[in-house]
Chains A and B, each alone.
Chain A
Amino acid sequence: MMDVVDLEAEHRALVESLFQTSYGELVGLASLVTGDRQMGEDVAQDAFAGLLRRGPLADPDAAVGYLRRAVVNQARGRIRRRAVADRPRPSPPGPAAAPVEDAALADDDARAVADALAVLPVRQRECIAACTLLGLTHAEAAAVLGISAGSVKTHVHRGTRRLALLLADRSPEDTR
């Protein structure tokens, strides 16, 4: 019985440690995917709560991967439910100038890039956030997102090119 208590205490300490080191990046990941900072915090907190409730993992090193997958899954679920609530959809990709114009209202680059990301398809957002914000390789991002590494590469490529165009007018240089 003592061992069980110790394991649970260790697990709680592990989750709290991960909360200190990874909460910010998981909120960022969820916020960029959902396009909503409040929802991002909610999703990240649900992921940590789920890990706490799950109990000790056989491999504590897998906890970060568990949290990332949980965040992506929950963010996707929120978007899906929001999309259902917002039907009819979708609107075709809008004129490229629109998000740039909106972003111009923002006072910092982080807001501008979030606004631009919000007009990309969800999968492109997920791949760019996983690879850029979390610094994952294509294979690592693929394991988190549940798609192939080749698909991650394609989504990152397409999304980044589109993002660059959307942000072109705000760039210090005329980037290609």
Chain B
Amino acid sequence: MTDLDPRWRDAIGRHAETTPPTPAAWAAITDRAEHGAVDPAAPRPSRPSWLLAAAAVLVVAVGLAAVLAVRGGEDEGVRTEPPPGSTVAPTPGPGAPVRVEGFAGVLEDDEHGPEACFWGMAESLPPQCSGLPLPGWDWAAVAGEESAGEARWGSYHVVGDYDGETLTVVGTPEHDPTGETAPPFSDPDRTPPCDPPAGGWDSVDGEPNGAADRAAMEAAARTEPDVAGVWLDARHGPGERDVYTAAFTGAVARHRAELRELWGGPLCVVEREHTLAELQAAQVRTDGGPLMVGGLELEIIESEVDEIGNQIVITMTYAPEGTEEALEEDLGVPVRVEAPLRPAR
């Protein structure tokens, strides 16, 4: 899975052994169960996570439209149509479902009806997941499903009308023969954005070149106020050496010379537009909590800084056309939105 030293993998595993199940712990659990002293962040069965996600998407979508409405000088309030001139597509809502499409694992079991799971299924038998309800789903109309006990599941390309809470299927979902939900996510291209030296990256073998030197070089790069990112490539072949890329918003030659004094291994230094601090500041505004834009509260499922792409990556269930542009305008940095549901073509 990874190249983490077995020593540290074992050390992580030992964290499962340091707290035994004592009678006192069990007594605390039963007491909490009886008296309700449960953390409010606990999942509530009556309102499963997909509903929270769907609600979040609704807030985002409604918020985006409303932001543009406010900016356009119109009346405030929730609207399901974009203001004149807006590049944001109509947004989902109970009264205004939008036609969308995407790949999903679909599962029905004795816990729930057919639901679209965009974030993976647990590979048990039968598999487990919960997601977006699919009213009108008809297993007899689709191909390729599997079953075990009361569970039926399969992977499909689904077109339907999304209202923020459910996805009403339109037409016949197409079986995805790969058996895998097409991921909206993609690994970034970690290839160093510099031409390799004449002898190739593996020929760069200057001094100092130890692990501590490497760590010191990265630490030095990251403390520069104009650093935009630092990353390693992803080669793992025998004898291949890690190539560090360090990105800054200027003074590339100076930074390269300074880092060279700390580390003699393969190094690529490039220029990018936004500092890491800018990206982090923007990401914090979107990190799991509400994002205030134009006085409105927007909710994001997940976000992170993409140092390689010099951008923020934001995850939502559904992204209307124009979402990235609206977020970029507000956040002031490049944004890539990853969403399994997109407007149907």
Q: Which residues of A contact B (CB under 8 A)?
A: 16, 19-20, 23-25, 27-29, 31-32, 37, 40-43, 45-50, 52-54, 57-59, 61-62, 65, 69-70, 73-74, 76-78, 80-81, 84, 89-90, 92-98, 100, 108-110, 112-114, 117, 121, 123, 128-129, 131-134, 137-140, 142-154, 156-157, 160-161, 163-169, 171-176
Contact = CB atoms under 8 A, between A and B. Distances in A.
22 contacts: A19-B25, A24-B16, A24-B17, A45-B25, A46-B39, A62-B128, A69-B43, A78-B41, A92-B276, A92-B277, A93-B276, A95-B223, A100-B215, A142-B119, A143-B120, A144-B122, A146-B53, A147-B120, A148-B181, A151-B315, A152-B120, A176-B3
B29 A24 contact: no
A157 B236 CA distance: 12
A139 B19 contact: no
A143 B39 CA distance: 22
B22 to A, nearest CB: 9
A164 B3 contact: yes
Contacts of B111: 57-59, 62
B41 A172 contact: no
Contact of A28 (B18, B124, B277): B18
B204 interface: no
Interface in B9-24: 9-21
Contacts of B183: 148-151
A94 B197 CA distance: 30
Contact of A114 (B15, B16, B214): B15
B122 A74 contact: no
Interface string B16-50: 11111100011011101100111111110100010
A167 B119 contact: no
Contacts of B118: 148
Interface residues of B, number: 83
B25 to A, nearest CB: 6
B42 A73 contact: yes
Contacts of B17: 24, 28
B11 A109 contact: yes
Contacts of B174: none
Interface of B: 1-5, 7-21, 25-26, 28-30, 32-33, 36-43, 45, 49, 53, 109-111, 117-124, 128-129, 181, 183-188, 210-212, 214-216, 218-220, 222-223, 232, 234, 241-242, 276-277, 280, 284, 288-289, 302, 304, 315, 340
B278 to A, nearest CB: 11
B7 A171 contact: yes
Mostly, the B contact residues are: loop
B215 A96 contact: yes
A50 to B, nearest CB: 5
A150 B222 CA distance: 27
A171 B5 contact: yes
Nearest to A145: B119
A163 B242 contact: no
A50 B38 contact: yes
Nearest to B9: A132
Q: Could you say which of B5, B17, B185 has the most chain A C-beta atoms within 10 Å of its C-beta?
A: B5
Contacts of B15: 28-29, 31-32, 110, 114, 133
Contacts of B185: 148, 150-151, 154
A12 B116 CA distance: 31
Nearest to B190: A157
Contact of B25 (A23, A50, A121): A23
Given A24-B17, A174-B210, A32 B12 contact: yes
A109 B33 contact: no
A76 B39 CA distance: 12
Given A24-B17, A150-B187, A73 B49 contact: yes
Contact of A113 (B8, B18, B43, B110): B8
Contact of A74 (B12, B42, B232, B234): B42
Given A28-B17, A45-B29, 5 more contacts: A48-B33, A77-B41, A95-B219, A173-B5, A176-B3
A19 B26 contact: yes
A78 B15 CA distance: 19
A75 to B, nearest CB: 8
B288 A80 contact: yes
Q: Could you say which of B28, B210, B340 has the most chain A C-beta atoms within 10 Å of its C-beta?
A: B28
Given A46-B42, A95-B222, A169-B211, A58 B304 contact: no
Given A28-B19, A137-B123, A150 B7 contact: no
Contacts of A29: 15-16
A74 B5 contact: no
Contact of A169 (B42, B212, B304): B212
* 6 nearest A-B residue pairs (beta carbon): A77-B41, A142-B120, A95-B219, A28-B15, A49-B32, A150-B183
